[in-house]
Amino acid sequence: MRMGVIADDFTGASDIAGFLVAGGLKTIMYNGVPKDWPPSSIDAVVISLKIRSCAPRQAVDEALTSLSFLRRVGCTKYYYKYCSTFDSTREGNIGPVVDALMDALSTDLTIVCPSLPVNGRTVCHGYLFVGSDLLSDSPMRHHPITPMRDAKLARLMEGQFAGSVGHVFYPTIAQGSEAVRAELERIKASGHRYAVVDTLFEEDLVTIAKATETMVLVTGGSGLAIGICSALNEGREVSPLDGSAFTPIIQRSVVISGSCSAQTNIQVAGYKKLAPSRPIEEGLALTDPALYAADLTSWVLDHQGGRWAPMLYATKSPEELEISRRLYGDGNVAAAIEDVVAQVTKTLHAAGIRTFISAGGETSGVVATTLGLEAYLIGPQIDPGVSWLKALDSDLQCSFKSGNFGSADFFSKAQAMCIQEGNDA
């Protein structure tokens, strides 16, 4: 088997790539559809797109182009990776992309499995939980682009998915993979096109992976990759570092945080106590982005050489976001901040910054695209779902964190893993 993964944003791509590497699969990650074929030794190919919040038609076109490449390079199993909090609207983009991939692969059933128990994402009775809260009660209900105000996956799928949905409830999951396989067959025979699978514990991911091993297309968060690797490795020991392609080194660095998730707010607040930190202000970004970006760049360069990298952040609390909406509206602020981040990233790279630590899917996508990197080696995991990455053909190294992932001390923890160049300790 060679697995092909289509991820809807950059942090999601690095998230699942990290789990595949930790599971012993030799993995290469591309930013966009690559021009060159992967090495023959590669077990998994991950393609990072930026299609979570674009127009649905664009998302479908890019996903199908990615699928075409993955088929040409010999993949036999496909995985559409979206956020573990099912970030989408009634228009998509998860549903349109899933339907397009199913049609292209001529498959009439796939699963919907956003669960990642190690990070508190579970599904029970078809309801998605974030920790002990329903998705609709979690901070995700305040997301500025895709506010999640329902937790029932079947209802979230209405309007954006073309077919009907069945459920594999937990009592069936608990009976094991054969029972799950039989239930999936019953759901398929009933004319349903999708099956939401309950998942409470990490071992449930192994059960689901075994039950769907012949399924040509699976969809979900990154958690199912843990189950797939566990099933593939059954009976043999795999070290978490077996698949790690490099060790990160200490270089001139910057932290850029754009996510407004609750967890990133905690991480930013903690890191501000350690390192030089400066907010990215909407008004200045909207007024004169080029001048403002130059000012931010100079500030970052002036604060190199300390124990911790300087941080630029657009991260806000829900209350601050509401004030921002009243002052500036929803339309242009995100685009203006992304423009500033892109200009800052470009200039910092030219000035010799070689390590970029970024928080938030949209922000990380901007950083990755601006750096123009096409392929990455996957290094050690910093936290579940977040790994160090290194450009395949340069000394650039990066960490791209989904908003809700990572420990409270993530930014400093990531840097503490870096060693002096030439030190193998």
| Highest mean predicted confidence (pLDDT) among 343-347, 380-384, 388-392 | 343-347
Question: pLDDT tens digits for 257-302?
Answer: 999 999 999 999 999 999 999 999 998 999 999 999 999 999 999 9
Using CA atoms, how far apart are residues 146 and 163, in angstroms rounded to an integer? Answer: 22
Q: What is the pLDDT of residue 242?
A: 67
Q: What is the pLDDT of residue 383?
A: 92
Q: What is the pLDDT of residue 330?
A: 62
CATH of 3-232, one of 2.30.30.280, 3.40.50.10840, 3.40.250.10, 3.40.50.10860: 3.40.50.10840
pTM confidence score = 0.79
**Domains of the chain by residue range:** 3-232, 253-416
Sheet holding 133-134, edge to edge: 121-124, 127-130, 133-134
Q: Which pLDDT band holds residue 392 (cuts at 50, 70, 90)?
A: confident
Question: pLDDT tens digits for 1-51?
Answer: 689 999 998 888 988 998 998 888 888 999 899 988 888 888 899 999 999
User: What architecture is domain 253-416?
Assistant: 3-Layer(aba) Sandwich (3.40)
Question: pLDDT tens digits for 110-169?
Answer: 999 999 999 999 999 999 999 999 999 998 998 888 999 999 999 999 999 999 999 999
Inter-residue contact 309 to 123 (CB < 8 Å) = no
Whether the upstream peptide bond of residue 93 has omega within 30° of 0, thus cis, is yes
The encoded tokens of residue 134 equal 């329903």
Q: Which pLDDT band holds residue 425 (cuts at 50, 70, 90)?
A: very low
| Nearest by Cα to 340 from 403, 401, 291 | 291
Task: Quote the Cα angle for 319-325-329, to 5°.
Answer: 175
The encoded tokens of residue 208 equal 């689901």
